[in-house]
Chains A and B, each alone.
Chain A
Amino acid sequence: MTRSNLIDKGYYWLDEKARDGVRLMAQRISRRSFLGRLGAMLAGAAMLPLLPVARSFAQESAVKEIGDPKTCEYWRYCALGGTLCACCGGTHNSCPPGAEPSPITWVGTCRNPVDDKDYLISYNDCCGKAVCARCGCGNSERDRPVYYPTNSNSILWCFGTEHRSYHCTVAVVLGEAADSQ
């Protein structure tokens, strides 16, 4: 028996097994239920990285929203220096899949044009992936130089995370600001 014969035989064996398997499945499972199961498996596999594992933040209270979170002009980004997670597979308040939110942040205030109130905004960096180069913003309302580190948006806030590489930034509403600052 030559080598090519052996390979052919192997293919025949594989064909036969596949054919038998498919026939068995066709006899036992209705076409619709097979498609349903296949669809669920595909959708499930696609949804897996979207599960909210350590990416989302505490539930925000009902804040009235306006504007497009994929633009630098969105009201929450008034002091955001960095790239927008909303453009990188995340949202304005959750990290993209695979990126880890930094617990340490800097906190500023932005005025919501809908109700004209000031809100406390936490700028959390999402870390552990290479930088996302989409939607870079350089807003600097009440931003301070880096020698005031707690009030500076020029610092990469990937502290307390497993990896220190900066990916993008989100803006989480913590609540209303005090009346007089």
Chain B
Amino acid sequence: MIRDFLPLLLLAALPLSAAADDDVRANYLLACRGCHLADGSGVPPEVPSLRNTLGPLTATAEGRDYLVRVPAVLQSRLSDVKLAEVLNWVLTEFNADTLPRDFKPLTVSEVTAARTQVLADPIGYRRARLFGKSVAE
């Protein structure tokens, strides 16, 4: 019985997920696009690119925290839930080629916890603690 309806159910779920994706993209446009541009390419050197530069960061707890602790991310007006959605969207949309195979999306609790730890010197932190040259300057 359920098997007969499964395709219908799947069809019904499609527009919903598409609408949610649109909302996430709209929040990216609102909070990030001003500097990083619609396709995430940025305007180097003033604005770093978000394309295929962030994948390796998701492999360690320190790197995952860093994605949230960057000042402009941490200060954005998005709620923790929406911020997690946007960050995961940036990772899967712009960084699919560099994501580790066992990539786990950022959770809301990770975002909430990291957001309380302001990074006073993001560039120094990146040079000293993170993955050297594999990360875009």
* Chain A residues at the B interface, C-beta cutoff of 8 Å: 103-109, 120, 122, 148-151, 159-160, 174-179, 181
Contact = CB atoms under 8 A, between A and B. Distances in A.
Given A150-B76, A160-B43, A174-B33, 19 more contacts: A104-B34, A104-B43, A104-B46, A104-B47, A105-B34, A107-B29, A107-B31, A107-B34, A109-B30, A120-B29, A122-B34, A150-B35, A159-B46, A160-B46, A160-B47, A175-B29, A177-B26, A178-B24, A178-B30
B37 interface: yes
B23 A179 contact: yes
Q: Which label, helix, strand, loop or mixed, suits the secondary structure of the A interface? A: mixed
B77 A151 contact: yes
Contacts of A151: 77
Nearest to A148: B75
A14 B131 CA distance: 77
A148 B76 CA distance: 9
B8 interface: no
Contacts of B95: none
Contacts of B29: 107, 120, 174-175
A181 to B, nearest CB: 8
B34 A150 contact: yes
Contacts of A148: 75
B68 to A, nearest CB: 16
B46 to A, nearest CB: 5
Contact of B34 (A106, A109, A178): A106
Contacts of B75: 148, 150
Nearest to B76: A150
A178 B27 contact: yes
Contacts of B38: 174
24 contacts: A103-B37, A103-B43, A104-B34, A104-B46, A105-B34, A106-B34, A107-B33, A109-B30, A120-B30, A150-B35, A150-B72, A150-B75, A151-B77, A160-B47, A174-B33, A176-B26, A177-B26, A177-B30, A178-B22, A178-B23, A178-B27, A178-B30, A178-B82, A181-B77
Contacts of B46: 104, 159-160
Question: Which has the most chain A C-beta neighbours within 10 Å: B30, B47, B72, B76?
Answer: B30
